[in-house]
Amino acid sequence: MDTRPSPIAGRWYPGDSRQLASSVDGYVGAAELPEINGEVIAVVAPHAGHVYSGPVAGYAFGAVQGMQFELVAVVSPMHQPYSQPLLTSAHQAYQTPLGSIVIDLDAVAELDQQLQAELGFGLTQVRNDAEHSLEIELPFLQRVIEGEFRLLPVMVRDQSTQVAEVLGKTLAKILSGKTALIVASTDLSHFYNQDQAVKLDQEMLRQLEAFDPLGVLKAEEEGKGFACGRYAVAAALWAAKELGANEVKILKHATSGEVTGDYTGVVGYAAAVITRRTSEVSLN
């Protein structure tokens, strides 16, 4: 199988399989989750090195621990200098120290075709990319999901509302009828002091919890909040809405300062879960 080798194992997270499994399990096990009502459609998770954002990511992935999904769509930003608006892997699988995750080539092809019909362009396939924000979530998925799953990787370079909305709604069509999970990968504010970071992050999380993809994008446009994966998050919100989700719950927020002890220039991290909650009807 043509497998994308990991460019970040041993640097962004442990390169030894036992150490990686133990650290991921520790992050998930330490998460003190609130009650989550309804069917989980998506989660939002940070994507810094595990030592920094792992304690927060543990909340996001703890929300799906032990669940089964046949397909997981991970939507992340593309930090690398590609010019194409939407990208995916040209490989057949992703490799981590915990093993390989097979890419659902049929789902990728279907998404590509529908995006081309809607936007005039689709998913550009790239080989041996160095993007960390998608891969960083994979060891968590490998440890919490019960059984095997296939991956639908999407990396967003485009900075337009239209593309994010079309991507989200098209993604929902691909996932509809499947046992699927969406993972939106993002960090929050970058390199503000702790007080400023918390203020900016709170506004971004307010828009996220309001289930408002336009609000998420507008928060950064107005300088009120920041998220490097805001277009990935917005796309995930639009997709989740199309799939019937109706509630977003923030599970955890923290900054890198809480790990490093340096609060002069921090990065914000958050975990959230998006659910489809059906109202109970009394029979009495």
**Could you tell me the end-to-end alpha-carbon distance of the chain, in angstroms, rounded to an integer?**
58
* Cα gap 98→135, rounded to integer Å: 12
284: pLDDT strictly greater than 90: no
Tokens representing 96 are: 């981590």
**What is the per-residue DSSP string for 87-154?**
EEESSSEEEETTEEEEB-HHHHHHHHHHHHHHHS--PEEESS---HHHHTTHHHHHHHSSS--EEEEE
Quote the CA–CA distance of 209 and 245 in Å, as a whole number: 12
Of the listed ranges 45-59, 124-138, 266-280, the one predicted with least confidence: 266-280
Please name which of 41, 40, 70, 66 lies closest in space to residue 149, comparing C-alpha atoms: 70
Note whether 10 and 90 are within 8 A (CB): no
Q: Reduced to 3 DSSP states, what percent helix, strand and coil does the chain have, rounded to the nearest 5?
A: 40, 25, 35
Q: What is the pLDDT of residue 175?
A: 98
pLDDT (tens digit per residue) in 91-144: 999 999 999 999 999 999 999 999 999 999 999 999 999 999 999 999 999 999
What pLDDT shows up at residue 279? 66
* CB-count exposure of residue 53 (10 Å: 0-12, 13-18, 19+): buried
Q: What is the pLDDT of residues 6-18, one digit of tens each?
A: 999 999 999 999 9
CA distance 90 to 100: 15
| Mean pLDDT value of segment 212-234 | 98
* 182 pLDDT higher than 50: yes
Question: How high is the pLDDT of residue 155?
Answer: 98
- pLDDT over 50 at 282, yes or no: no
Q: In sequence order, what DSSP letters do the residues of 218-255 get, joined into one string? A: HHHHTTS---TTHHHHHHHHHHHHHTT--EEEEEEEEE
- Mean pLDDT, all residues of the chain: 96
Residue 281, pLDDT above cutoff 90: no
Q: 47 is written with which tokens?
A: 């994507």
pLDDT-based confidence at 278, cuts 50/70/90?
confident
What the chain holds in terms of domains, given with CATH numbers, is 3-192+199-269 (3.40.830.10)
For helices 161-175 and 213-221, what crossing angle results, to 10°? 150
User: Is the CB of residue 219 less than 8 Å from the CB of residue 225?
Assistant: yes
Whole-angstrom distance, CA of residue 75 vs CA of residue 3: 19
Average pLDDT score over residue span 35-64: 97
Q: Is the pLDDT of residue 283 over 80?
A: no
* Mean pLDDT to the nearest integer, 147-160: 97
